[in-house]
Structures are given as C-alpha cells and as structure tokens.
Amino acid sequence: QAGIRSYLAVRGGFDVAPVLGSLSTDTLARIGPPAVATGDVLPVRAVSAGALVGAAEAAPAGLPTVQQEVVLDIVL
C-alpha cells in the first residue's frame, strides 16, 4: 500500500476543478479531487481532432541547424 503511485492521462485532460492549481489527487495529504474508484466515470475535456499533446516547446536557442557543420574538440 505505501509508496505505490499510478498515473492516468487522456488527451485534453480531465474536466475537474483544480485544487491549488493542480488536477492531481494526493490521497496521503487528502488534497485534490477524490481518488478514482471502481465504477467512477471521469469527465474529459473536449479537444479538437489532431490537437497536439502537451505544451508546445520552442527549440533551445544556440543549437546548430541540420544544415550547419559542427566541429567537436576532442581531448584524449
């Protein structure tokens, strides 16, 4: 029982009210929505077909492009 964690995710996320800015449930601290139980129906947020999963990230600045030659200094 102690130390076990389970994660459940769906495209669009669950349509529940955030608690302290999070949609997670912490059963030990009793924070967040009730823990998922047998027979629960979880509301899911609507999402358009083909929507990206996760937050869009910009490429890190300063990295070479595929077309650029990269010179590596190797010290033996």
CA distances from 32 to 2, 14, 18, 50, 56 (A): 19, 13, 7, 30, 26
Our measurement of the distance from residue 47's CA atom to the centroid of its chain's CA atoms, rounded to an integer in Å, reads: 15
Q: Tens-of-pLDDT digits for all 76 residues of the chain?
A: 567 777 888 888 888 888 888 888 888 888 887 778 899 998 988 887 777 776 777 777 888 888 999 999 999 8
Kindly list the domain boundaries of the chain, sorted by start residue: 1-44
As a whole number of angstroms, the distance between CA 4 and CA 21 comes to 23
As a whole number of angstroms, the distance between CA 56 and CA 28 comes to 32
